[in-house]
Structure 1
Amino acid sequence: MNTDISERQKKILDFIIDYISESGYPPTVREIASATGLSSSATVHAHLSKLEKSGYIKRVKGSSRSIEIIKSQHNKKADSDEINNNVVLIPVVGNVAAGKPILAEENIEEYFPVTNDFISDFNNVFMLKVKGDSMINAGILDRDYIIVRKQSIARNGEIVVALIEDEATVKRFLKTDKVIKLIPENDYMKPITVKVVDIVGKVIGVLRKYF
């Protein structure tokens, strides 16, 4: 066993490997601290920095769940290839505006890890954080993260992200002969009726944080 890392760092590394194996995505700094008996996030970051410098892990800047396992304590790739190949980092977009590239670097706030068995095709996929309760009857709550596939067309009944006066809204799409209706999934809200709408993408998944 390698001695370039401390016993505490070995414990942290073991926890990260076990966590990814069970959950399909890496733990947060807070979860690492709780599991390993550390009271300070700064201390966890220091240990993670040492693990990264020693080549055991890799982190992606700007994401709370960004740890990738590079090698185990036995200096082998172990199950890291299988673990990392099962996780894809999806960009979380902070702003959607007409005429601007959605996935431009300045629009990306962080990256969110999602396993391959949750979504089969990650091409042109991004995430948005939901604001408001207009889609609660569809199981989309305030502060949820929706996974969106970028596309400019939609079928009736699909939940879409659309731009209304340069503001993104999440609604159910319905097109009639004369108008387009963006229908909320909330009994206390009325549909938005327009003649033309800019479809940003189709909602293909919902994720919820409990911390």
Structure 2
Amino acid sequence: MLTRKQRDLLEFIHKRMQKDGVPPSFDEMKEALDLRSKSGIHRLITALEERGFIRRLAHRARAIEIVKMPEGMEGFAPRVIEGDRRDPPAGALSVRAAAATELPVMGKIAAGVPIEAISQVAAHVAVPQQMLNSGQNHYALEVKGDSMIDAGINDGDIVVIEEGTTADSGDIVVALVEDHEATLKRLRRKGGMIALEAANPAYETRVFRDDQVKVQGKLVGLIRTY
């Protein structure tokens, strides 16, 4: 059973919507019910929701669905009361579902001091298909260390790697050093030598013979969780 104030508010919302097609604001509700503050309106709205007369819609400003009305009120049909509705900005793209692919996360990759080679699947991560190159195999790695921060790669990021054994000079690659150290670095070719460059001045560039470094893949994307 509703109190007089609860009933008055419910009827005011309904009649305003029927008349103007838009809901009253909390200030208008306050004035209509002669209340001193909007906190009183909040309490009445909560009470109506708890009693099943209305349902507030999540993530939408001033949006209420009237579920039912008190007995004796004729001509009621449930409808959504939605306020503060604005047209989308010019040039805004429509929201649509994006396809994703699950990739194996092959443990951690060093962006700092190299760690032992990676060979086991630790988890899986969903990656937008737009990030992947069609027809190629991909995998993911969790970054450990800060040697690539100036390239926008932070400790804890997930990097998406296109599997392959070749890379151009300047590519950021997963490099297997002497068959037991895996590291994420920018590759530079200098004659018969390979330099693995960090993107952090605190780390030195490491130089190896061509036969000491095997490319395991190159960076094509990054996922960061905040």
Smaller-chain TM-score bracket: 0.5 to 0.7
**What is the CA deviation profile of residues 80-137 of structure 1, one whole-angstrom value per residue up to 9, with x for unaligned ones?**
xx95x71211111127876x9x5xxxx1111101122333437310000001001010
- Retained in 1: the 8 A contact 2:132–2:138? no
Aligned to 2:214: 198
Aligned to 1:138: 151
Aligned to 1:93: 106
Partner AA of 1:127 in structure 2: A
Where 1:199 maps in the other structure, the secondary structure is: strand
| Higher fraction of strand | 2
- The answer as to 2:201 corresponding to 1:187 is yes
> Structure 1 residues 89, 168: CA separation in 2 closer, same or farther (over 3 Å shift)?
same
TM-score for the superposition, normalised by structure 1? 0.53
Partner AA of 1:191 in structure 2: T
Where 1:108 maps in the other structure, the secondary structure is: coil
- Counterpart Cα distance in 2 of 1:135 and 1:185: 4
Residue 140 of structure 2, aligned match among 127, 133, 152:
127
- Give the deviation of 1:163 after TM superposition: 1.0
Q: How many residues align?
A: 124
- Give the deviation of 1:178 after TM superposition: 3.3
- Counterpart Cα distance in 2 of 1:168 and 1:132: 13
Residue 116 of structure 1, aligned match among 129, 138, 141:
129
**What is the CA deviation profile of residues 25-73 of structure 1, one whole-angstrom value per residue up to 9, with x for unaligned ones?**
xxxxxxxxxxxxxxxxxxxxxxxxxxxxxxxxxxxxxxxxxxxxxxxxx
> Over aligned residue pairs, what C-alpha RMSD do you find?
2.5
- Give the deviation of 1:143 after TM superposition: 0.8
**What is the CA deviation profile of residues 131-161 of structure 1, one whole-angstrom value per residue up to 9, with x for unaligned ones?**
1001010000111110001111111000000
Where 2:130 maps in the other structure, the secondary structure is: coil
Q: Which runs of 5+ in 1 are unaligned?
A: 1-14, 16-81
- Counterpart Cα distance in 2 of 1:115 and 1:192: 33
- Counterpart Cα distance in 1 of 2:157 and 2:214: 23
Where 1:117 maps in the other structure, the secondary structure is: helix
> Structure 1 residues 187, 177: CA separation in 2 closer, same or farther (over 3 Å shift)?
same
> Structure 1 residues 151, 184: CA separation in 2 closer, same or farther (over 3 Å shift)?
same
- The answer as to 2:191 corresponding to 1:174 is no
- Counterpart Cα distance in 1 of 2:216 and 2:133: 20
Q: Which runs of 5+ in 2 are unaligned?
A: 1-57, 59-95, 110-115
Aligned to 2:72: none
Partner AA of 1:93 in structure 2: M
- Counterpart Cα distance in 2 of 1:153 and 1:172: 13
- Retained in 1: the 8 A contact 2:108–2:144? no
